[in-house]
Structure formats: C-alpha cells, structure tokens
Amino acid sequence: MMETLFATRSTFGRPLRLSEKLWRINWPLLLTASLLAGIGTATLYSVSGGSFQPWAERHTLRFLIMLGIVVAMALVRLDVWMRLAYPAYLVALLMLALVPFIGSEALGAKRWIDAGPISFQPSELMKLALVAALARFYFQVLPEKVGKPLFILLPLLIIGVPVFLTMQQPDLGSAALFVALGLSLMFLAGVPLRYFALGGLLALASLPVIWSGMHDYQKRRVEVFLNPGMDPLGAGYHITQSKIALGAGGVAGKGFMQGTQSQLDFVPEKHTDFIASIIGEEWGFTGMLFLIAVYGLLILMMMLMAQRCENHFARLAIAGSAMTFFLYVFINLAMITGLVPVVGIPLPLVSYGGTSMTTLMIGLGVAMSAYVHGRNGRG
C-alpha cells in the first residue's frame, strides 16, 4: 500500500554526487536572500544611531550562520525531510499545546517556551512543520482522491488544530498565517475550487462568531485599525507613527541615518516589526519600491524553482516556503502602512530577531534540498 501511494520512486532513484548537489543549489536565490539580510544590517546599523551594536552585528552573524545551515540542508537527501515532516508537525503541535502550561508570558500573551539558553516560539516551528506536513500529506494522496471529502477534512484538521491552539495564546497573527499558508497549499495541491468558494462563504458567515471569541485587546486592535484616530497615543500610536515616518520619507527619503522618526524613537519596534517604516523614512518611496522588488524577485525565483521539480513533496515544500515569505512580507508591509491591524509579523530577513530568521532560513533550506533532489536528474 505504501509503495503505491509513494509516487516518487523515480526521483529518489539515483543518488547525487556532492559536486552535482552543489551545482544544483540555486545560488542566485541565496544571493537575493543575502541582499535582504544586508538591507537589514544597514537599517539596524542606522536605527542604533550608527552602531553595529546591539543589533546589526548579531543580525549579520545570525544570517551567515543560517546561510551555512541552508547550504548544509540543501545537501541532505529530500526523503530525510519527508520523513521528518509528520514527527516535526506532531512535536510542534505538542509544544503549542504545552505553551499555556510551560510557556513564559510576554506582553500579555504566552507564546514562548524557554529551553535553557534558547527560547523559541512553537508557532514558528509550526510554520515550517505545517508546510512540511501538508506537502507530505498531498505527496501521498493520489490525484483522483484530492477532491474527496475525507481528503479535504484531513488537511483542514492539520491546519485547524494549530490555528485553534495559537488563537488560545493568543497569537492572531500566526493563526491567520497558518490559515493562509494551509489554504494556499491545499489550493496548489489541487483541491477543487468549489471547496474554496464554499469555504469563503462559511468564513464570512462565521465572522461574528470569531469577533465574539476574540480577546478584548484583539478587538481593540481591530477597532483602532479601522479608526486609528480613535486612540492616537495608545493602540493607534504604532500605525500613526509608522505612517508619519513613511510620509516624511517622501520619494527620495531623508537619507541614511537621517530619519528623525527612528533616530528619536518615535516609531516603536523600529528594529523588529516596524523596520520597514525606517527604510521608508530614510530611503523614501524609491527604497521601498526596491525592497518590494527584491522580495518579489525572491518569491518569483522560488515559485519557478517549484515548477522545475517533479517531486510533488518537493514542489509543495518550495511553494510553501515561497508562500511563507510572501505572507510575511505582505502582512508586515500591510501592517506598517495601516492596511491591516498590528500583528507581530516581522519583515523576513530584514527585521532583527532570531526566531523568524531561523524559521525562514530553515524553510529555505528544505526548499533548497527539495530543489536539489526533487528534479529527475535534469539539472
């Protein structure tokens, strides 16, 4: 039974030599990622008033280490990652479930687990594991069965359980990200479009239920988002100051290290979630356009990578990783420009912070391994 379900025998047929693997790595993609990390380093240098401390240096170091890990991961056989998919998902799920009991609280929400020297957010691990588990699931499902109700319900469960758990923390941003990520993978895997239409209607109908289930501070964020003037010094402060920073940047920007909004601490979380406001203030619309273009290029390259793979797990994993990048970038930029409420989503590879960097780079590593091994010898 297992053999018949495994539709990828051929792709694992011939072991690749190390030089072949290195040759197959998408180096331009890693270069693009490095460019983004470089933008991050420069901006972090600027927001600390022209110093590599406390953020720029660590950010660079972290990226370089993760870059090495990505290359190392790319050399690991794809079936290793495939076998890890379900266990990783289960571990992530278990940790998410444990957060309310062993997690440490920060800013009124329990999201972190402290494990000695490292603390991490299980929801971050889940972002990787969800993509892997869904890719693994659809890899196994025969095409004619994708549309069967049972095979709709199972991936919905795979998505739904972590969504439910993260909403308890509460971490609305991650929950939304899981939903978007999971649904786009289901879409790519070929789930019939009628289910999406039905799902859309159901979602609309359930909005009032979601609203009543939200925490007060979440409701407040949504309200403030809908009307930022309501609370310009409280919850609306982030958005207002971020908009001021962007607007003050204009077309050309105020120049490197010249942004008063960041240098004088008006923009909150300027080194993490709101780093793009600083880029916008100092480099202007020109800089923002460039930034968006680099992300667009990165995502495009990954989506193209996915097309070149025959292995279904490989292409779903790559596209899932691309989608993760896209969602991060989209939600973050939409947040700092006031299009969506403030949720804790950083700007990939630019924002300071180990957790998101690790998640995204490991995702990139799996994608790269998929790209290296997922093609049938045609390189």
Partner 1 sequence: MTDVLDGDERGRGDQFTRRSLLLGGVQAAGLGLVGWRVFDLQVIGARRYGPLAEDNRINLQVLAPKRGRIFDAYGRLLADNEQVFRVMITPGLAKNPSGVLRRVSRIVPLSDDEIAKIVARARKQGRYVPTTIASDLSFEQVAQLNLFAPSLPGIATDFALRRRYHDGPALSHVVGYVGSVERFAINDDAVARLPEMRIGKGGAELGFDGELRGTGGIQKVEVDARGRIIRNLETVEPVGGRDVTLTVDSELQRLVSDRMQREGRAAAVMLDIATGGIVVMASVPGFDAGAIAGGIAGADWQKLVQSEDKPLLNRAIAGQYAPGSAFMVVTALAGLDAGVLSQGERIQCDGHYAYRGEVYRCSKHDGHGSLSVHEAIRSSCEVFFCEVASRLGITRIAAAARAMGLGGTSNVGLGEEKAGLVPDPDWKRGNLNASWLGGETLLTGLGQGYMQATPLQLAVMAARIASGRAVVPVVGKRAGAPEFQRLPFGVESFDAIRKGMAAVVNDENGSANEAKLGAGKPMVAGKSGGSKVFAGFEPAEAPRYAIATVIERGGDGNATAALLARDILNLAVDRAGPAHGDIPPGGGVVPATNYGEKAG
Tell me how far, at minimum, the Cβ of 116 lies from partner 1, in Å. 30
Tell me how far, at minimum, the Cβ of 223 lies from partner 1, in Å. 20
Tell me how far, at minimum, the Cβ of 340 lies from partner 1, in Å. 10
| CA–CA distance, 173 with 343 (Å, rounded to integer) | 5
Tell me how far, at minimum, the Cβ of 118 lies from partner 1, in Å. 30
Residue window 284-313: x/- pattern of binding to partner 1, with contact defined by CB under 8 A: xx--xx--x--xx--xx--x--xx--x-x-
The answer to whether 5 contacts partner 1 (rule: CB under 8 A) is no
Cβ closer to partner 1: 65 or 197? 197
The answer to whether 147 contacts partner 1 (rule: CB under 8 A) is no
Cβ closer to partner 1: 217 or 330? 330
Residue window 346-375: x/- pattern of binding to partner 1, with contact defined by CB under 8 A: ------------------------------
Tokens representing residue 268 in the block: 């909150």
Please give the size of the binding site for partner 1, defined by CB under 8 A: 55
Cβ closer to partner 1: 62 or 243? 243
The answer to whether 197 contacts partner 1 (rule: CB under 8 A) is no
* Of 187, 195, 217, 256, the one binding partner 1 by CB under 8 A: 187
Tokens representing residue 26 in the block: 């998408």
* Of 82, 245, 345, 350, the one binding partner 1 by CB under 8 A: 245
The amino acid sitting at 129 is A
Q: What residues does 109 pair with on adjacent strands?
A: 106
Cβ closer to partner 1: 137 or 326? 326
DSSP state for residue 349 in the 8-state scheme: T
Closest among 115, 138, 140, 117 to 125, alpha carbons compared: 115
Q: Single out the segment in contact with partner 1 by CB under 8 A; choices: 108-116, 161-169, 184-192, 206-214.
A: 184-192
Q: Single out the segment in contact with partner 1 by CB under 8 A; choices: 116-124, 126-134, 264-272, 355-363.
A: 264-272
* Of 54, 100, 250, 255, the one binding partner 1 by CB under 8 A: 250
The answer to whether 257 contacts partner 1 (rule: CB under 8 A) is no
DSSP state for residue 229 in the 8-state scheme: G
Cβ closer to partner 1: 97 or 297? 297
| CA–CA distance, 120 with 354 (Å, rounded to integer) | 9
Cβ closer to partner 1: 11 or 41? 11
Tokens representing residue 1 in the block: 């039974």
Tell me how far, at minimum, the Cβ of 311 lies from partner 1, in Å. 8
CA 87, 181, 67, 352 dihedral sign is negative
| CA–CA distance, 119 with 123 (Å, rounded to integer) | 12
280: left (phi over 0), alpha (psi -120 to 50) or beta: alpha
DSSP state for residue 17 in the 8-state scheme: P
What residues contact 127, with CB distance under 8 A and at least 6 apart?
174, 177, 178, 181, 324, 359, 363
259: left (phi over 0), alpha (psi -120 to 50) or beta: beta
| CA–CA distance, 328 with 162 (Å, rounded to integer) | 18
104-106 sheet: strands from edge to edge: 104-106, 109-115, 118-120
Q: C-alpha 56: how far from its chain's center? A: 21
Cβ closer to partner 1: 103 or 374? 374
- Site residues for partner 1, window 7-36 (CB under 8 A)? 7-10
Structural contact between residues 370 and 316, judged by C-beta atoms closer than 8 angstroms: no
Contact residues for partner 1, defined by CB under 8 A: 7-10, 142-143, 184, 187-190, 241, 243-251, 260-261, 264-266, 280-281, 284-285, 288-289, 292, 295-296, 299-300, 303, 306-307, 310, 312, 315-316, 319, 322-323, 326, 329-330, 333-334, 337-339
